[in-house]
Amino acid sequence: MTESLDAAVGQRGLDDLVGATDPGRRGVPSLPGRLNALARLVQIGSARSGSGGFDRELLEESADLLGRAGERLRLSGAHTVVTLAGGTGSGKSSVFNALAGADFSPVGVTRPTTSEPHACVWGMAGAGPLLDWLGIQRRHRYARASALGQGEENLTGLLLLDLPDHDSVTAGASHEVDRMVGLADLMIWVLDPQKYADAAVHTRYLVRLAAHSAVTTVLLNQSDRLSPEQAEDCLTDLRRLLDSEGLHEARVLLTSATAGTGIDELRKVLIETVTARRAAGERIEADVDTLVGQFEAYAGQGAAVVPERAATALTDAFAHGAGMAAAGEALQGARQLRAGEYVGWPIASLAGRLPGRNRARKGGLWNIAGQLRSLAAGTADAQPAEIDNALTALGSDVGARLPVPWSSTVYSAARSRADAIPGALGTAIVESLPTDGDVPAWWRLVRVWQWGLIAAVLAGIAWMGAIVAFGEFHVDRQMTSPLLDQLTLLPWVAAVIVAMLLLGWLTSAGCMNVVTLAADKERVRVGQSMRSRIDTVARELVLIPVEQELSEYDRFRDELKTARGHG
């Protein structure tokens, strides 16, 4: 669709519109501005067409209008294209000849005689390319060369077309009428008293062109066949009928090409139109109004944004799916476990190192970060359903406020990078984890202290053994120290041993409390880092694509406002 738009408008298309029409009132977009806005509507819609999207027929009609408008305003802005259209026997060819001042177009009463469009031009200079674009054959082109002599200077620039009968049985005649009506700057519909309410012309043309009533004139022709009262009644009824069809601005004239009635009034309408040089722009603006009105259904009721609660809920779901809380708790537990090897009571540590006692614990102790990184990556990849549910919830929440197709395109934008999310969440968890790093110096000092206490306990036990041995076997006092043969020292040595054991336990408990507080703070700090990185993943892979689509929606609404002609 984008390629067809470019081909329709072309390099010279919209660029040539600049300056081709009046710039408009201050703050109100000019016709070139409205056409440029329509072109952007087509571009936006083309990227979202297809099943459930923008109507392709509407986009194609808009692209055709852009190409047609560019060509029309590029070709002789000094000429005004006026078509005379009507049914068989309505007398449009007679009106054409009366205005032209010569029998250029064949006249028929009961059957169609105009099989090809005929053109009469007041001021032929520069009209050739425009006539070629209209597809008027050279043998059917007539120049009103004596216009100045007839006192018709104000009609210079008029290009009057007599079209085939719209109800003609001639092959291709109705198609030719449709084509020429679509290219005209001012449309004149010639109706006769017997068929002025004919559904064929009203349903097929007038009703569909209601938005073009400002560039439409309706002639009730052959008034010479009516009495004044009949003519007035028919004129009143025709006015009522046109108003009911929405053609409130259409002019209605009573004419008779044979008697000359109303021809001067019609000529005044043509002079007014040609002199103003606005018919081409007004016709194009009416075309734009018709198409822009069909874009309204895609505009909704207002601008759309991603609610803050929806963004927060998305990050919460991603954090849960990535196992953020589990990773933080595992990190805290691992820190405490490793600290226990240094600041814990060595006797408990030695018990844990006995064969068969928690070897998995012992093996993973010295590689905390590595174990957690494996856990984080595995956890993120293991939660596709939760991530999918989060994307569905966000897309549905934001899209529910939008009209079709934006509701579905926002949903698709939310899921556009779904495959990359699990891996990105795993990376976010891994990059937030601290490295193992060096063991804090105070841990090592406490370990030295604890082993010192153990050494003291062992020394005390050995001392007690020596006292018992020397005291029991009554070794010669001269051969031993007084500290080794006094059984009375045993209670004191035992008390010292108990004190050392108690001191070691108190040291372990106090240090582990400090470690627990530090590990808890680390868990919070790492959790904040994880949350921040997960929030970045949610923004880059989900929210930014959604916000870009919402930005296109807002741009569509802005361009639609300009295309409507609103400042």
Q: Which amino acid is at 519?
A: A
Q: Which of 298, 331, 361 is the last residue of a domain?
A: 298
Average pLDDT, the chain: 82
pLDDT of residue 82: 95
Mean pLDDT of 502-507: 88
Q: What is the residue whose two structure tokens read 């008293």?
A: 193
Ramachandran category for residue 437: left, alpha or beta (phi over 0 → left; psi -120 to 50 → alpha):
left
Higher pLDDT among residues 476 and 495, named by residue: 495
Mean pLDDT of 373-399: 74
DSSP three-state, residue 102: coil
Q: Are residues 328 and 378 in the same domain?
A: yes
DSSP string, 477-532: GGGS-TTTS-GGGHHHHHHHHHHHHHHHHHHHHHHHHHHHHHHHHHHHHHHHHHHH
DSSP string, 164-231: PPTT--STTHHHHHHHHHHH-SEEEEEE-TTTTT-HHHIIIIITTTGGGGGGEEEEE--GGGS-HHHH
CA distances from 251 to 20, 57, 88, 238, 516 (A): 26, 31, 22, 11, 91
* CA 334 from centre of chain: 47
Which region among 42-46, 258-262, 330-334, 356-360 has the lowest average model confidence (pLDDT)? 356-360
**227 within domain boundaries:** yes
pLDDT category at 355 given cuts 50, 70, 90 is low
Mean pLDDT of 312-329: 89
Report how far residue 519's alpha carbon sits from residue 282's, in angstroms, rounded to the nearest whole number: 76
Give the DSSP H or E segment for 141. strand 141-143
Q: What is the residue whose two structure tokens read 């296109």?
A: 552
Q: Are residues 221 and 89 in the same domain?
A: yes
**22 within domain boundaries:** yes
Mean pLDDT of 102-127: 74
Q: Please say if the pLDDT value at position 336 is more than 90.
A: no
Mean pLDDT of 440-468: 85
When divided into structural domains, the chain yields a total of 3
Q: What is the residue whose two structure tokens read 């691992």?
A: 334
Could you give the strand order of the β-sheet that contains 216-220, starting from the edge strand earlier in sequence? Answer: 141-143, 118-121, 158-162, 80-86, 186-191, 216-220, 251-254
Ranked by mean pLDDT, which of 180-194, 349-363, 434-448 comes out on top?
180-194
pLDDT of residue 147: 46
Q: Are residues 184 and 230 in the same domain?
A: yes
pLDDT category at 433 given cuts 50, 70, 90 is confident
Mean pLDDT of 303-310: 88
Sequence-separated (6 or more) residues with CB below 8 Å from residue 264: none
Q: Are residues 406 and 317 in the same domain?
A: yes
**104 within domain boundaries:** yes
Q: Are residues 217 and 356 in the same domain?
A: no
State the number of CA atoms in the 13 A half-sphere of 45 facing the CB: 30
Q: Which of 298, 330, 355 is the last residue of a domain?
A: 298
pLDDT of residue 12: 39
Q: Are residues 63 and 83 in the same domain?
A: no
Mean pLDDT of 444-459: 87
**15 within domain boundaries:** yes
Give the gyration radius of the chain's Cα atoms.
Answer: 47
Q: Are residues 83 and 18 in the same domain?
A: no
DSSP three-state, residue 139: helix
DSSP state for residue 16 in the 8-state scheme? G
Sequence-separated (6 or more) residues with CB below 8 Å from residue 378: 426
Question: How many Å is the maximal CA-CA distance in the chain?
Answer: 165
Q: Are residues 413 and 556 in the same domain?
A: yes
Tokens of 383: 């939660």
Report how far residue 133's alpha carbon sits from residue 76's, in angstroms, rounded to the nearest whole number: 11
pLDDT category at 373 given cuts 50, 70, 90 is low
Q: Are residues 433 and 390 in the same domain?
A: yes
pLDDT of residue 171: 55
pLDDT of residue 543: 96
Q: What is the pLDDT of residues 543-558, one digit of tens each?
A: 999 999 999 999 999 9
Q: Please say if the pLDDT value at position 2 is more than 70.
A: no
Q: Are residues 14 and 102 in the same domain?
A: no
Give this prediction's pTM: 0.74
Domain of residue 86, CATH code? 3.40.50.300
pLDDT category at 537 given cuts 50, 70, 90 is very high
Q: Are residues 143 and 47 in the same domain?
A: no
pLDDT of residue 315: 94
Q: Please say if the pLDDT value at position 17 is more than 80.
A: no
**235 within domain boundaries:** yes
Mean pLDDT of 491-504: 87
CA dihedral over 41, 47, 53, 57, signed as positive or negative: positive
Q: What is the pLDDT of residues 171-213, one digit of tens each?
A: 567 888 989 999 999 999 999 988 888 888 898 899 988 889 9
Q: Please say if the pLDDT value at position 283 is more than 50.
A: yes
**303 within domain boundaries:** no
Q: Contact, 270 vs 82, CB < 8 A?
A: yes
Mean pLDDT of 287-313: 90
pLDDT of residue 462: 84
The range of the structural domain enclosing residue 198 comes to 78-276
* Cross-strand partners of 217: 188, 251
Q: Are residues 197 and 243 in the same domain?
A: yes
Report how far residue 485's alpha carbon sits from residue 464's, in angstroms, rounded to the nearest whole number: 10
pLDDT category at 108 given cuts 50, 70, 90 is low
**384 within domain boundaries:** yes
Report how far residue 109's alpha carbon sits from residue 221's, in angstroms, rounded to the nearest whole number: 13
pLDDT category at 6 given cuts 50, 70, 90 is very low
